[in-house]
Amino acid sequence: MDTRSEMARMVEDARRRTFALVADLTDQQLIGPKLAIVNPLHWEIGHVAWFQERWVLRHAMRRAPMRQNGDALYDSSTVPHDTRWDLPLPSRAETLRYLETVRDAALAILSDADRARAAEYFVRLSIAHEDMHDEAFIITRQTLGYPSPESIGSPVVPLEGGALEGDVPIPGGAFTLGASPGEEPFIHDNEKWAHSIDVRPFKIARAPVTQSQFAEFVSAGGYQQRRYWSDEGWRWRESTGAEHPVYWRRESDRWQRRDFHRWVALEPHRPVIHVNWFEADAFCRFAGRRLPTEAEWEMAAAGAPDGGSAAVLGKRRFPWGEDAPTFRRANLDGKWLGCVDVAAFPEGDSAFGCRQMIGNVWEWTQSPFEPYPGFAADPYQDYSQPWFGTHKVLRGGCWATRARLIRNSWRNFYTPDRRDVLAGFRTCAL
């Protein structure tokens, strides 16, 4: 498939998913309650169309705005979050037409070789942006207790399940962290550019922490014991009164978790999900472990060791190699609408033997989100730069992440208090 056809396919596919993720919701659900951690979906789908128009049509093609008040409604850099519920938004039908009109205009650009060449970077930017918002739509549906989005996948079926205990040793040595020029069709600015670092030998868990393992921390009174928490984490716990993960409840003698709009028994061997960085950090102290740095995480996922020597000479695009993800290697694209057991997908193991470093759950790292050496912001300057120093890095993608979006070098980032994210973690030996 040539580049233009590939981009056109992705533009259409991303828009189909956006439509599918809101089609079954009522107008009232599309607005929803005013919360600090979600956007009103009615606003957010309009923002997706506006972003593609802003960068592909207006910036790359120098066209006039389609909507006179588009920037005043949808520019997330200037429209305060708390005001988005009260804006004079177009009707649902008009917003959906806006999404269709912008998509069709982008596809028309891709039908012409010269225009497609001029717009390629911004078309790919808009696809990545929409893919990330589509994941945010799924998070919003979970946060607000809306039904599972069965228009995009099927409920989880048992896969080669069970637990996966133990650590793998990583020899350390020289490693190239980050993405190299020409390595990917599209790279965000915070991955630029690859640079050499030295990593000390370490041991990292073969799999993420499971729900049953985290339940041991909860049952042992981990949320009530100050010694397990950082100063900032303890302040968060006291201010929120948290006693267990956000979507858990105790029913008789067992734990349940809320899966979108229904309560289900806790699946012992699935990774814990919807825990924030403070909770992950506290569990590590309880277990006598620690979170990996993002350099350690990327080395464990991407490193290709040479005969077990200390020098890591190669680097893989994905844990298993260079080939794109498949449903035998990783839980991505919302296919099963949730997590699978941590022992599933042995074909996706890294060279060192780590499993599920791509897909299933985003994984918190110990590292603050900071620029790589020589950082320069890309045209969309608000993607990374405003968040340096206040967020923590997550790696690896989750079950809702689009396969075309993720790779070993991809850096996600959230503030350490966020529990709505589809995030878990794996640990390292001290």
Same domain for 269 and 378? Answer: yes
Q: Tell me, what's the pLDDT at 310?
A: 40
Read off the tokens for 330. Answer: 């990783």
Overall number of domains in the chain: 2
Q: Tell me, what's the pLDDT at 160?
A: 67
Is residue 395 in some structural domain? Answer: yes
Read off the tokens for 7. Answer: 């981009």
pLDDT tens by residue, the chain, 430 residues: 689 999 999 999 999 999 999 999 999 999 999 999 999 999 999 999 999 999 999 999 999 999 999 999 999 999 999 999 999 999 999 999 999 999 999 999 999 999 999 999 999 999 999 999 999 999 999 999 999 999 999 887 767 689 999 999 999 999 999 999 999 999 999 999 999 999 999 999 999 999 999 999 999 999 999 999 999 999 999 999 999 999 999 998 899 999 999 999 999 999 999 999 999 999 999 999 999 999 999 999 999 876 544 444 579 999 999 999 999 999 999 999 999 999 999 999 999 999 999 999 999 999 999 999 999 999 999 999 999 999 999 999 999 999 999 999 999 999 999 999 999 999 999 9
Is residue 404 in some structural domain? Answer: yes
Q: Tell me, what's the pLDDT at 309?
A: 43
Same domain for 64 and 178? Answer: no
Q: Please provide residue 34's backbone torsions phi and psi, each rounded to the nearest 5 degrees.
A: -80, 110
Judge whether 154 and 336 are in contact, CB under 8 Å.
yes
Q: How far apart are CA 341 and CA 196, in angstroms?
A: 35
What is the per-residue DSSP string for 70-89?
A: HHHHH-TTTS-GGGTTSS-P
Read off the tokens for 71. Answer: 């920037």
Read off the tokens for 232. Answer: 């900032």
- Distance of alpha carbon 323 from the chain centroid: 20
Same domain for 387 and 329? Answer: yes
Q: Tell me, what's the pLDDT at 343?
A: 96
Last residue of a domain, one of 125, 143, 161: 143
Query: What are the strands of the beta sheet with 262-265, ordered from one edge?
Result: 248-251, 254-259, 262-265
Query: What are the strands of the beta sheet with 362-368, ordered from one edge?
Result: 412-414, 392-395, 362-368, 423-424
Last residue of a domain, one of 121, 143, 165: 143
Q: Please provide residue 349's backbone torsions phi and psi, each rounded to the nearest 5 degrees.
A: -60, 150
Indicate the burial class of 87 (C-beta count within 10 angstroms; 0-12, 13-18, 19 or more).
Answer: middle
Same domain for 105 and 180? Answer: no
The CATH number of residue 392's host domain is: 3.90.1580.10
Last residue of a domain, one of 89, 113, 143: 143
Same domain for 108 and 201? Answer: no
Closest CA to 205 of 169, 172, 175, 177: 169
Is residue 148 in some structural domain? Answer: no
Q: How far apart are CA 413 and CA 387, in angstroms?
A: 8
Query: If you search the block for the tokens 């956006």, which residue do you land on?
Result: 18
Judge whether 372 and 177 are in contact, CB under 8 Å.
yes
Is residue 159 in some structural domain? Answer: yes
Is residue 257 in some structural domain? Answer: yes
Q: How far apart are CA 356 and CA 257, in angstroms?
A: 22
Q: How far apart are CA 292 and CA 300, in angstroms?
A: 10
- For residue 167, count other CB atoms closer than 10 A to its CB: 17
Is residue 324 in some structural domain? Answer: yes
285: domain range?
A: 153-430
Read off the tokens for 239. Answer: 């201010």
Same domain for 118 and 167? Answer: no
Query: What is the chain's length?
Result: 430
Is residue 49 in some structural domain? Answer: yes
Same domain for 302 and 232? Answer: yes
Same domain for 101 and 177? Answer: no
Q: How far apart are CA 415 and CA 34, in angstroms?
A: 19
Same domain for 413 and 281? Answer: yes
Q: How far apart are CA 214 and CA 166, in angstroms?
A: 16
What is the per-residue DSSP string for 305-329?
A: ESTT-S-EEEE-SBTTBSSPP-TTT
- For residue 44, count other CB atoms closer than 10 A to its CB: 21
Rg (CA), the chain: 21
The CATH number of residue 25's host domain is: 1.20.120
Same domain for 241 and 311? Answer: yes
Same domain for 312 and 272? Answer: yes
Same domain for 336 and 408? Answer: yes
Kindly list the distances between the CA atom of residue 181 and the CA atoms of 63, 116, 178, 185, 295, in Å, as whole numbers in the listed order: 30, 21, 10, 10, 19
Q: Is the peptide bond before 234 cis (omega within 30 degrees of 0)?
A: no
Is residue 241 in some structural domain? Answer: yes
